[in-house]
Chain A
């Protein structure tokens, strides 16, 4: 299953609903293009909803890191929402869990932006 994304706005925060696989190739490119497009349009409060992301590889992890740092460098914030156990475990073993702001409730994630 390739990756699909859809975005919606809640109180000035963009929720990006991701599904499928974030892996080397198409999945990583879709995520990269989506975040860059949002930033170029001035949407700098971003939540990646990963509830339906069932697989991620090291390239996908790298893309999450890239999205995080790119957003931060442009004065924005990017948070992660609803990690599956697999993705949660990967972020734990790579010590990235503490780097990202990870939420498990959408409303709380939206409210957490400054």
Chain B
């Protein structure tokens, strides 16, 4: 894999189609960058979950709000940035989906899956929206994700 730097970004509607589109773009780009099949699946699923959060929980399907999706290769990293225009999430209210009392909840696993599949997950909420940054290193380890919430 050549290590030249590349960036591509998209502005998308707050719709279910955006979620499928984000996943498809992630799959294509990760494949083109030379990630293995398992890593491509992990990246595409993490991006899908990020898009779900942006469309549903951030923009709440609002027609006048957009989702910005960017893929950037920086050195040996694929950096995916997803921004919404919602009110910003409260990170302190995200429950641990692995806690016994939460195991049978029907939602709340999206961020956990992102953390499981990516090397770095950064979540920056603000009053004008939430920025999510997902980083996967080429030939990176698959030993769980690290989080840097700000």
Whether A57 touches B106, Cβ cut-off 8 Å, given contacts A93-B116, A94-B97, A95-B98, is: no
Q: Which residue of A lies closest to B144 (CB)?
A: A93
Q: Is B41 an interface residue (CB 8 A)?
A: yes
Identify B106's interface contact among A65, A86, A90, A99, CB under 8 A.
Answer: A65
Bound complex: CA A25 to CA B19 (Å) = 10
Q: Are A61 and B103 in contact (CB under 8 A)?
A: no
What residues of A have a CB within 8 angstroms of the CB of B110 in the complex? 58
Q: Are A95 and B103 in contact (CB under 8 A)?
A: yes
Q: Are A65 and B52 in contact (CB under 8 A)?
A: no
Q: Is A63 an interface residue (CB 8 A)?
A: yes
Interface residues in chain B, defined as those with a beta carbon under 8 Å from any beta carbon in chain A: 16, 19, 41, 45, 48-49, 52, 56, 97-98, 103-107, 109-110, 112-113, 116
Identify A59's interface contact among B52, B103, B105, B116, CB under 8 A.
Answer: B52
With A58-B109, A65-B104 already in contact, 19 other A-B pairs whose C-beta atoms are closer than 8 Å: A25-B16, A25-B19, A57-B45, A57-B48, A57-B52, A58-B52, A59-B52, A59-B107, A62-B109, A65-B106, A66-B106, A68-B104, A86-B41, A93-B116, A94-B98, A94-B112, A95-B98, A95-B103, A96-B103
Q: Are B109 and A94 in contact (CB under 8 A)?
A: yes
B17 to chain A, nearest CB (A): 9
Bound complex: CA A92 to CA B19 (Å) = 25
Bound complex: CA A58 to CA B117 (Å) = 13
Q: Are A65 and B41 in contact (CB under 8 A)?
A: no
Chain A count of residues within 8 A CB distance of the other chain: 20
What residues of A have a CB within 8 angstroms of the CB of B52 in the complex? 24, 57-59
- List, sorted by A's number, 10 A–B pairs whose CB atoms are closer than 8 Å: A23-B48, A24-B16, A57-B45, A57-B52, A58-B109, A59-B107, A62-B106, A62-B107, A90-B113, A94-B98
B104 to chain A, nearest CB (A): 6
Q: Are A58 and B104 in contact (CB under 8 A)?
A: no
Whether A58 touches B107, Cβ cut-off 8 Å, given contacts A24-B52, A94-B97, A95-B98, is: yes
Near B by CB (< 8 A), chain A positions 10-49 give: 23-25
What residues of A have a CB within 8 angstroms of the CB of B107 in the complex? 58-59, 62
Bound complex: CA A94 to CA B107 (Å) = 12
